[in-house]
Amino acid sequence: MLKDENLLIHSSDDPCCSGKNEERKSHHSDEMKKNMISRLNRIEGQIRGVKGMVERDVYCDDVLNQVAAIQAALNSVGKLLLEGHMRSCVIERIQAGDDAVVDELLTTMKKLIK
């Protein structure tokens, strides 16, 4: 097992993201998980704040600005996850001869870019 800055990279015989019949799991470092959970908790709080703004009939433009901030924060989490996925699972699966991961990645990226 190799340690990268933000991710744990497992050997290719580790079942973390291999095998179609096995449950696939990510393998982020504890630091990376903590970072993402912190970001997601902040986003969750922002969403509750926007809900409160709507309930209080806050001016639409102010609500829309908060929605834009939430979208940017979610995009940031998505970029972190995508980078980690590409640097670990995708590389490992390609090295193991599983080229289907490229199609899976392209489908996921299309969803993220919408």
Q: Please give the pLDDT value at position 96.
A: 95
- Six-digit token string for 105: 């990645």
- What lies within 8 Å, CB to CB, of 6 at 6+ separation is 28, 29, 31, 32, 35, 80, 84
State how far the Cα of 114 lies from the Cα of 110, in Å rounded to an integer. 6
Confidence of residue 2 (pLDDT cuts 50, 70, 90): very low
> Does 16 reside within a domain?
no
Number of domains in the chain: 1
Domain hosting 56: range is 28-113
Residue 75 is assigned to a structural domain of this protein: yes
Residues 6+ away with beta carbon under 8 Å from 73: 39, 42, 43, 46
pTM of the model: 0.73
Phi, psi of 58, deg, nearest 5:
-65, 150
How confident is the model over 27-73, as pLDDT tens digits?
A: 778 898 999 999 999 999 999 999 999 999 999 999 999 999 999 99
- Identify whether 44 is part of a domain: yes
Distance CA 70, CA 42 (A): 9
**79 domain residue, yes or no:** yes
We report the CATH number of the domain holding residue 59 as 1.20.58.1000
